[in-house]
Every structure is written in structure tokens, then in C-alpha cells.
A and B are shown apart, each in its own frame.
Chain A
Amino acid sequence: MQFEVLAKCHTTRARVSRMRLAHGVTMLPTFMPVATQAAIKGLTPQQVEALGINLILNNTYHLNLRPGIQVLKEAGGAHKFQGWNHNLLTDSGGFQLVSLSKFTKITEEGALFASPFDGSPTMLTPEESISIQHAIGADIIMQLDDVVSSLTVGPRVEEAMWRTVRWLDRCIEFHQKSGEDDVQNLFAIVQGGLEADLRDKCLDEMIARKDRVAGYAIGGLSGGEEKDVFWRVIKQCADKLPEDRPRYSMGIGFAEDLLVCVALGVDMADCVFPTRTARFGVALTFKGPLNLRLSKHSADMRPIEEGCPCPTCSSGITRALLNHTATLETAAAHAITQHNLVFQARVMGGARDAIMNGTFPQYLKDFFANYFGDAGYPEWCVNALRSVGVDLLEGKPDTRVVSGDGAKWEYSDAA
């Protein structure tokens, strides 16, 4: 990997960088769409590329089950299998193992789980995870970590953090011996729950291994913890992680979360949210999400968002047509997915431009004014951005501030 920081925001911790991997250059910060089963829901890889996207994520747990490593090897790796010519990242499979399999037991050796095929006990070790990720062939691979829910408290959190450090060593060793380490880049995952001292210890340990890891992910978040705690952990990690390594915040997808993370110094994020919500008829816009299933859109001849360059808006698809087809025709899911992925890319592209131009603080202010407007700013965003020198409320004494998550949703069918 070649990683170069091109520009830094003069106020916040945000930065623009260029990351060169085996399948090309990806400009950061960026949002990575999730192709869980080796396909972005409903789109061909050519369609995804046309959206200006060049880094996507596959899930190791799912691909290991189906089509299986043997098939991927025969096909020449996951890139060839799914016809994707650009950069690819795989997770370690550990997170899905814990969230999707009821009987997973963590031992020092690895994660012991019941095979979804025959229920037989199966072990996913750090070495096995890396080996599977080698067969998949992604440009960025993740260490196996000991995942605990972000709501877990007590000694289990510390145990998981230390085990994650030990597993990192095993992943590094296996990866380096394999000879794949010049084409595939291993990322470490910082754990430690919501406890600052554990995060600090984990950061120290992992930064000490910097020469043997290509980048760092911040794990163990987005599991239902309070947003005000969430951003503080992100900030603590991003502040401490080395300048010359990309930082990846796992499972982040709401636009406001993305921008706060970018301001705190995060370079990459992924989430199924924009593609999943599209299938339920929800389109993301700079004025907040639109639930296109609501009857108020049934005769609305406007595109989802005026000026949006996505194939859906630029071809003149109206809210009315999407209202007619949403959740009933897969074509509607495809159209809204295309739009939502472009929305995510525009949010991040706008951030890149603003950081390059030295106008990122203003970009944040404009985004929040548009997106939350009268609905009120989430308090945690205001707090988080204040911590990096941007006061969203500056000169806006009348703006409402909402505590809690503050997600703005147009979800009711009655509207």
C-alpha cells in the first residue's frame, strides 16, 4: 500500500489522502458500500463503478459459507468471481460469527461455532480467517478480533481487548509467512469497549506493531452505545493513531456520523444502511431522508434530489414513479440504491473538496443546516464537532438542539 496525506483541515482533524492498493487508487475519506454476498444489492459491478465508487466491502463469513473458498479459488478470487476490477476490503468474519451464530464460544485458540450446514463444531482461528481472506484476495484484509457488544461491561471487555492484541500477532505472523503481504494489506482492529483506559492500552499495543500493519480500524462500536460515548471513543482512537496509516471506522453509515468521524480524523467507513434502506423505499438527500412509500410523493414529478448526478435523478425518474414501484418492483430498489450510494459518495466527495480547499468547517455547517434544518441538530454532533474546533451553532442562536440519537426520519405511513 502507498498512503499519502494530500491535505489537512486547518481546524479539524480531517484529511484527504490517496491510498494506492493492488486494484488502483482510492481517494480518502471515503464511504465503502457493502457487497455482503459478492454483489452490491441489485447492481452489477459495472453499475457500481459508473457511480464513481472504487472500494467496496465483502463479508468473509458469508463468502466462506457460500460460494465457499474452493469456488472462489477456482474462479481466481473474489474480484474475478464478481467481476469487480477495483479495490476490495474483507472483514475477518468474527463480527458476523458473533452476531449471526447463536452458539459461538470464544477460546484462546479461536472462535468455536456450530457449522450452519451440519451443526458440527467448527473453529475459526486468526490464522484460518487470514487464510480465507487470502483466498478471497481482497486488497485490504482485517485481523480476527474478539468482538464483544459495545454494551458489555466488566472484565470480559478487557479480556477481549488483550485477546484481540494476541490474535493480531498471530494474524501478522501468518500473513507475513504467506507471502501475500505485498498485495494484501492487513489492518489491525482497536478494541477496548467504551472504556478509555482499555482503548488507550490497546492503542499502545497496536501502534507498537505499526511497521507490520497497513492500517487501523476502530472496532467495537455502533452496537447501540450512546452517540455521545461513540464519538469520544472515535476521537480518542483517531487522535492517537499514527498519521501515516489509514483509519477505518467500522459500521458507520448515517451522513452525520460520517461527517463527524471525518472531522475527528477517520478516513474510511462502511455500512449496509444506504443499500438496505433503499429496498424499503427510503432515499437519502441533503435535506434528510425521504420515505418514497408515503402517499404524499405519489404525484410528485420531481426527482429524488434536484441536481443529483446519479443515474436515477439524472434520467428523470420521479418520486411519483418510485412511489408507484417502491418495495413492489426490484427496479425501484435498484434505482434508489444507485441514488443512495451516490448520495454517500457526494457527502464524502464534498468533504474531500472542502478539506482540499480549506473550507471544511463551513462545509460541516452548511451540511447540518440543510440536513437537520428545523428538525434540530443532534446534540452529540454539536459536542463532537466543538471538540475539533467547529461550532455548528455559531451565529445560529435559534437552532434547536436535540438530545439522543437525533436521527431524522420520515418513516410514518400516515404522513
Chain B
Amino acid sequence: MTAAPLFTLCVTSGKFGPRVGSLNLDREDGTPVIRTPTPALLTATSRGVVPHFSRDSVQITGAIQHIQLPFESFLDRNPPVLTLVGGARPLHQFLGYETDKHVLTLTLRDPSDGRKMPPNGNDFMSAHCTRGVRKVNLPTWKTYVQKCKPDLVVALSDTPFTPPPHSQKRMTKSIERSISWLADFLRVLDDPSASCPRNVLVHLAGGAEPHARGEFADRLTEPIEQKDAVGLSPFNTLDDGVAGYVFDLLPLHTTLAAEACRPIEPSSPVDELLKVSDSQRSSPDSSIRLAELLQASLDPLPVHKPRFVNSPVSPHEILRLVREVGIDLVDGFWAQRAADIGVALDFRFPVPAESSITSADCPAPRTRKDGKMDLGHNLFDSMYRHDHSRLASSFSDGHSAGQSHSNDLPVCPCGACSPRSPASRLLHSSVDIQSWQDSQRPLPPSALQPPFVRSYVHHLLHTHEMCSHTLLAMHNLTVLSAFLEGIRKVLGREFPKDELEKEIVRFEQKYDEDMVLWDEAATMWLDVEHARGKGRLARERGKQTASTMGTAA
């Protein structure tokens, strides 16, 4: 029996252009193939976990299926603990993901981390962990991957994280290194018992230079030279060993911003809590530039391999890359980061009819001077103090949708909009059953509960309660996932390209791309972090010290 192909296309428009497909993970171990319709969401993680989520929260969030795991945080111990787990699915087991649902993509570096880094060497890549920068050489990475057995893995590549511009020489070196690292990664080890990594993804290198990107892609498709061929059979080209392509947009945005003379200083955002990506914005122009760069890479390459895009900065940008290039997996970092800074997303694709989202009981996001609507709500804003409506006006909540059929809004199934009572409760003594099986007050398990409302999340944000971010992250990932589903639906129409074009224009006319809301939210978030967060933590540290006085174990 041959393995299901990793990726199949159902709707295409040639080399570049919108496409719908299916990512099929066949582990060839007798377990069912995990199929995901694309374009699909790739959830970002930090230190191996989805930020703000306990395991039960991950389980109830249907949007989380594909998960990106940067390895670098585990470099703070040697050997890294992930390599000590063993078993058939060490990453799933250790990090608590479900083998029949979650597909894990391992990468050395966190693609959302744009901090300035010391340069890579000819045979090592620099990575970050809490103890500082670590050099990871190729054999080591290969060993880590063999021990971790990820579903998909990204080969090392040499992306400069020094401030742009980058010289011709630097770009040439980057391409040479990336090619040779890939070849090395694909090469069968001397030890035949060691399994080769399957589903190897490669960063398409070349920076913001179309010709450099084209050169890298050409090198992938050239026949492998005799002298390099050892251990690479049966591949004729390096691309034969590659299952899919990765685009990291963050360094490209940084370079494009530098070219446009609005450099984003990669080493030191104005506040230590901010990330480089927080100030990155998209525009029709920047999207066109990105599309050109992605196209330059993909031009010589086959169309049937999945394309992963990391760190897009807006839904507008995702839409344009879907239209101009054709992309298949998109990471959720942008939406997850919005949850960090107090933004609840509230938008849909295709844009809903005006009548369905204008409702007195659930206000839509603010409309800016240019007539465009915010992509969500900055729940730090005092205007939400008395707003007792569900998070998103463009989605209904499970509880009220179950009670009335008057509105035709889709339901947001997230744990914030459609929470359910627990399926079961722990019993701690034989008499506890009297609490939970109370004839005077029946408590059905898994029953829909009213949604968490804006005023509550506003309160939690201002009181620095962590579950504000949990609720927002559950919601934002779900809204982004629904957005991608909306793209798939439009592409399922009779004239997909025209329909998509029409809907993108409507989306661009409706929703604000400048994302002023993000700047406002980040400012208020920083105020609370600095005033409450640090003060509170310092107080608590004092208390903890006092309460831990005693006999050490």
C-alpha cells in the first residue's frame, strides 16, 4: 500500500492563483489519514504549547489542527528534553497533542521571532533559548528530528536576521548554505536503522531579491551532481526530496519596510514587551511586492506541493497571497498576537450582508474616518465597560442560536462564544454526587452556556487576569479559521477566480487594513502590563518569599 500523497489539489488556476486542496497526513502506521481542506490554519506555539491554552482548551478548540512547533526553546537543556521522550510520537506525547487530530510541524526557529541574531555559520544555525543564543549544527538537527519524529519538518536554511539591506555576497552565501544544508538533511544517514525524516519542508530562500529567489528555486530543480549524489538516491533533484515550501514573511516585511524608508528596527522595539511583528502592516503595494517574491520562488517549481506561509500581518494580505500566488497553510500568529494585546476579532469572509450584522444588541466594530470598519474590538477600551454583548457581531453564539432561529449569522463555536458545561465533574468523595445529581437543580453535562461578553473580558484585561487572553485566543483562532473556510467556500463557487476577486474587493472596501486598532490596543495593553503586571508580580514575589520561609525539603 502506498502512502496517500501529502497534498492534493481540487481547484487550481495554474502555476499562480487561488487554489483549494487537501493536506493528507498518512503516518503509514495503520492509523487513519488526517485530511485537512486548504487553505488551512497553522497554529503557532511558544515553548511547545499554544499560548494561554491548557490541554482541555486545545481539545475544545476545533480550529487547532495543524500546529507549528519551534524547537529552539528546548535548547536551554542539553540534551533537549524533547529528544528524551521516545516512543512512536514523542512530540504528541510530551506536549499533549492528539495523534488522531493534531498534525505537528517542527521547525528550529520561531518564524514570528524577528529579533536580531548573530550570523549563522557555514555549518550551523543560530537559535534562541532562555539561556541565550545556541548554535545548532546540521548533524545535531538531524538527530533531534529523528528522535522527535515530527509529522512534517522544516530543513535548516540560512536567513539573515541582521538589519537589511543584505549584500549580493551575503545573498549568494545564503543560497549556497541553504542548498547544501538541505542536501545534507535529505541524505540518508550512515546508520541505516535510523529513519529518514519524512515530509521535509524547505524555506524558499533569496530574501527580497526576485532573481536570488529564482536562483535558489532553480538550484532545487537542477539534477544533483554526481559528487553530491551519495545518500541522495533515488532523488534526481533536491526538490524530489522536498514535500512542501515555506515562506517566512517576517524578514521579507522587515526588508520591504527598510526599502520603503520606514525601517522596523529588528533589535529593539520601543518596549521590551513588543515584538518586531507588532508594527508590521500590509498594504496593496506590499502585498504585490510579496506576491512577486513568492512567485519568483515558485516559478520553476511544481505546483502540487503545499505552500506554507508564516506571519502574515493581516487578512487582506492573506487574501491577496491566495489570489496572486496560491497559498495553502497560513499560520495564526497574527490572530494569536491580537489576543495578547486585547483584541477580539470580528470580521468575516466573504463580507456578510450589511443587514445581518447591524444589530442593536451586539455592536459592530468601530468605523474609521475613511468609512472602513475595524477588524475587531480593542476590549481594553472603556467603551466596552458596559457592553454586555458577545465578542463578535459577525458571529452568533451557540446559546442564543439554540434558542432562536431569527438570525442567520453563523455561530462562533469557540470556547468564549459557545462555552459548554463540562462533560463530567470530578468526584472527590462518595457524597459529592449529591452536589451534581440534584433533582432540584439539574445540571446537564456539555450543555451550551451563555457566551462570555465584552464587559467581562474588558474587566479581566484591566485586572490582569490571564483567562482574558485564553478566551480571546480561542475566539481569534476560530475566527481566522472561519475566514479561511470562507475562502474555500468562495473558491467552491462556479467561477472561483472571478468570485474571489469580487469578494476580495468587497473585503478591502469594508475592513480597515491600517489596523489603527492594533496600535491603540497595544498602547493600552502596555499600560496595564507595566502598571499592574510588574507591580503585581513584584508584590507577589515578595509574598511568595515570605510564605516559603520554613524548612526546605
Measured CB to CB, the residues of A under 8 A from B are 6, 16, 18, 20, 23-27, 37-39, 41-44, 46-47, 49-52, 54, 62, 66-67, 70-71, 74-75, 80-83, 85, 273, 276-277, 279-280, 288-289, 298-299, 301, 309-312, 315-318, 320-321, 324-325, 328-335, 338, 342, 345-346, 348-350, 352-353, 356, 375-376, 402, 404-412, 415
The interface residues of chain A lying within 8 Å CB-to-CB of B94 are: 318, 320-321
B interface list, Cβ under 8 A from A: 46-57, 73-74, 77, 81, 84-85, 93-96, 130, 385-386, 388, 415, 419-432, 434-436, 438, 440-441, 443, 449-450, 452-453, 455-456, 458-460, 462-463, 465-467, 469-471, 540-541, 543-544, 547-553
Which B residue's beta carbon lies closest to that of A68?
A: B385
Query: By the criterion CB–CB under 8 Å, are B55 and A54 in contact?
Result: no
Known: A311-B55, A315-B96, A321-B95. A352 touches B429 (CB 8 A): yes
Distance between A392 CB and nearest chain B CB, rounded to angstroms: 17
Say what secondary structure dominates the interface of chain B.
Answer: loop
Contact B466 A42 (CB under 8 A): yes
Instruction: Give the distance in Å from the alpha carbon of A333 to the alpha carbon of B466 in the complex.
Output: 9
Total A-B residue pairs with C-beta atoms closer than 8 Å?
A: 238
Is there contact, CB below 8 Å, between A409 and B54? no
Partner of B47, one of A47, A328, A405: A328
Q: Which residue of B lies closest to A411 (CB)?
A: B548
* Residue contact B434 to A315, C-beta cutoff 8 Å: no
Contacts of B54 in A (CB 8 A): 42-43, 47, 311-312, 331, 334-335, 338
User: Chain B residues with Cβ under 8 A from A404's Cβ?
Assistant: 550
With known contacts A37-B463, A37-B465, A49-B422, A316–B93 Cβ distance under 8 A? yes
CB-contact partner of A66 in B50, B130, B432, B462, under 8 A = B462
Give Cα distance in the complex from A350 to B429, angstroms. Answer: 6
- Are B470 and A334 closer than 8 Å at their CB atoms? yes
The 29 listed contacts between A and B (C-beta, < 8 Å) are A24-B435, A25-B434, A25-B438, A38-B459, A41-B466, A44-B470, A46-B415, A46-B420, A52-B432, A66-B459, A75-B388, A81-B456, A85-B443, A280-B544, A289-B553, A299-B77, A299-B84, A311-B55, A312-B54, A320-B81, A321-B48, A321-B94, A328-B47, A331-B50, A352-B429, A356-B430, A406-B551, A409-B552, A411-B548
Q: Is A82 touching B456 in the complex (CB atoms < 8 A)?
A: yes
Q: In the bound complex, do residue B388 and residue A6 qualify as a contact, i.e. CB atoms below 8 Å apart?
A: no
Within 8 Å CB of B452, what residues of A? 44, 83
Residue on A nearest B430 in the bound complex, by CB: A353
Q: Is the CB of B386 within 8 A of A324?
A: no
> Whole-angstrom distance between the alpha carbons of A277 and B96 in the complex?
23
Q: A25-B441, A71-B459, A333-B466 are in contact. List 9 more A-B contacts (CB 8 A).
A: A37-B463, A44-B467, A50-B423, A66-B459, A70-B386, A311-B55, A321-B96, A331-B50, A404-B550
Question: Which residues of chain B are near A44, meaning CB under 8 Å?
Answer: 57, 415, 419, 452, 467, 470-471
Beta-carbon nearest neighbor of A404 in chain B? B550
Asked if B540 and A49 sit within 8 Å, CB to CB, the answer is no
Q: Which residues of B contact A409 (CB under 8 A)?
A: 548, 550-553
Chain A residues contacting B428 (CB-CB under 8 Å) are: 52, 342, 345-346, 348-350, 352
A375 touches B551 (CB 8 A): yes
Closest-CB distance, A140 to chain B (whole angstroms): 15
Is B550 within 8 A of A408, CB to CB?
yes
CA gap between A71 and B453 in the complex, in Å: 12
Query: Which A residue sits closest to B130, measured CB to CB?
Result: A328
Q: List B contacts of A311 (CB < 8 A).
A: 54-56
Residue of B nearest to A331 (CB): B49
Residues of chain B contacted by A38 (CB below 8 angstroms): 456, 459-460
* Chain A positions within 8 Å of B450 at CB level: 80, 83
A272 to B443, CA, bound (A): 28
- Docked Cα-Cα span, A318 to B420, in Å, equals 27
How many angstroms from the CA of A301 to the CA of B452 in the assembled complex? 36
Give the CA-CA distance A70 to B455 in the complex, in Å: 12
Given known A75-B388, A83-B419, contact A37–B459 (CB-CB < 8 A): yes
For the complex formed, measure the closest distance between the CB of A58 and the CB atoms of chain B, giving whole angstroms.
12
- Chain B residues lying within 8 Å of A328, measured Cβ to Cβ, are 47, 130
A108 CB to closest chain B CB (Å) equals 32
User: B435: shortest Cβ distance to chain A, in Å?
Assistant: 5
Contact A62 B463 (CB under 8 A): yes
Report if A18-B434 is in contact (Cβ < 8 Å); known contacts: A80-B450, A330-B51, A345-B428: yes
Docked-complex contact A402 and B434, CB < 8 angstroms = no
Kindly report which residue of chain B lies nearest to residue A55, judged by CB atoms: B435
Q: Which residues of B contact A41 (CB under 8 A)?
A: 465-467
What CA separation (Å) do A94 and B453 show in the bound complex? Answer: 29
Q: What residues of B have a CB within 8 angstroms of the CB of A23 in the complex?
A: 441
- Distance of B434 from chain A, by nearest CB (Å): 6
Give A407's nearest chain B residue, CB to CB.
B550
Residues of A within 8 A of B47 (CB): 324-325, 328-329
Given A41-B466, A71-B455, A349-B428, are A83 and B449 neighbors across the interface (CB < 8 Å)? yes
Whether A276 touches B540, Cβ cut-off 8 Å, given contacts A318-B94, A330-B466, A335-B54, is yes
**Which residues of B lie under 8 Å from residue A318 when comparing CB positions?**
94
Query: Which residues of the partner chain B approach A298 to less than 8 Å between Cβ atoms?
Result: 77, 81
Interchain nearest-CB distance for A64 vs B (Å): 13
Separation in Å of the B391 CB from the closest CB of chain A? Answer: 13
A352, closest chain B residue (CB):
B429
CB distance from B483 to the nearest CB of A (A): 24
Closest to A62 in B: B463
Q: In the complex, how many angstroms separate the beta carbon of B169 from the nearest chain A beta carbon?
A: 38
Cα distance, A370 to B53, chains bound together (Å): 33
Most chain-B Cβ atoms within 10 A of its Cβ — which of A301, A311, A329?
A: A329
Bound-state Cα–Cα, A118 to B224, Å: 74
Contacts of A37 in B (CB 8 A): 459-460, 463, 465
Taking the closest CB of chain B, its distance from the CB of A334, in whole angstroms, is 4
- Asked if A324 contacts B73 (CB within 8 A), the reply is yes
Report the Cα distance A353→B47, complex, angstroms: 40
Contact A273 B551 (CB under 8 A): no
Q: Which chain A residues border B465 with CB–CB below 8 Å?
A: 37, 39, 41-42
B443 contacts which chain A residues (CB < 8 A)? 24, 85
State whether B455 touches A375 (Cβ < 8 A). Answer: no
A315 to B467, CA, bound (A): 20
A152 to chain B, nearest CB (A): 19
Contacts of B48 in A (CB 8 A): 321, 324-325
**Residue B426 contacts which of A18, A26, A50, A334 (CB distance < 8 angstroms)?**
A50
Query: Are the C-beta atoms of A74 and B388 separated by less than 8 Å?
Result: yes
Q: Which of B54, B95, B425 has the most CB of A within 10 A?
A: B54
Residue on A with the closest CB to B452? A83
The answer to whether B73 touches A6, judged by C-beta atoms less than 8 angstroms apart, is no
Q: Quote the shortest CB–CB distance from A163 to chain B (angstroms).
A: 29
Contacting pair B386 A407 (CB below 8 A): no
- Chain A residues in 8 Å Cβ range of B50: 331
Instruction: Find A27's partner among B74, B429, B458, B550 (CB 8 Å cutoff).
Output: B429
A235 to chain B, nearest CB (A): 23
Give the complex CA separation of A364 and B93 in angstroms. 37
Residues of B within 8 A of A329 (CB): 46-47, 49, 51
A276 contacts which of B53, B440, B456, B543 (Cβ < 8 Å)?
A: B543
How far apart are the CA atoms of A355 and B51 in the complex, in Å? 42
